[in-house]
Amino acid sequence: MEIIALREAPVALGDLERSVMDLLWDQPGAHTANDVRDALAGDLAVTTVLTVLSRLEKKGLVRRDGGRRPHRYAAASSREDHTVGLLNEVLGSVPDREAVLARFIGGIGPDEAAAVRRLLES
């Protein structure tokens, strides 16, 4: 069985893209472009929102249901999974993951350290 390295495109988000994703993550479920526009701060054109949603779809962050007419958009994966992907991407760029983890662990607060310890035990 061959393992195909699925190229995870460098998923860097712009400010507006980020806002849209935050919205989709905070309010799970399917949204229309108009929904999204109304929920966003500022007074954007719907086409702007649609453009951004398309780009996010191309990046694999948003899934679209184009069944009937007001198309519905939703986050393709949870915010947590997406963020973990980013973390691993960052960690994948260094030769010594553990050295980085060492510094990272050394820098977190005691409460968070406790949480991590708990997670490791289970």
Partner DNA sequence: CCCCAAGTTCTACGTCCTGTAGAATAAAGT
Partner DNA sequence: ACTTTATTCTACAGGACGTAGAACTTGGGG
Q: Pick the stretch among 36-44, 49-57, 62-70, 91-99 that binds its own copies (CB under 8 A).
A: 91-99
| CA-closest candidate to residue 9, choices 64, 79, 82, 60 | 60
**Which two structure tokens, joined as six digits, stand for 33?**
């472009």
Q: Which is nearer to DNA, 42 or 107 (CB)?
A: 42
Q: Does 106 bind its own copies (CB under 8 A)?
A: yes
Q: How far is the CB of 17 from its own copies (least distance, A)?
A: 12
| CA–CA dist 106, 103 (Å, integer) | 5
23 near 34, Cβ under 8 Å? no
| CA–CA dist 74, 57 (Å, integer) | 9
Q: Does 117 bind its own copies (CB under 8 A)?
A: yes
Residues interacting with DNA, by CB under 7 A? 12-18, 32-34, 42-48, 50-52, 54-55, 66, 68-71
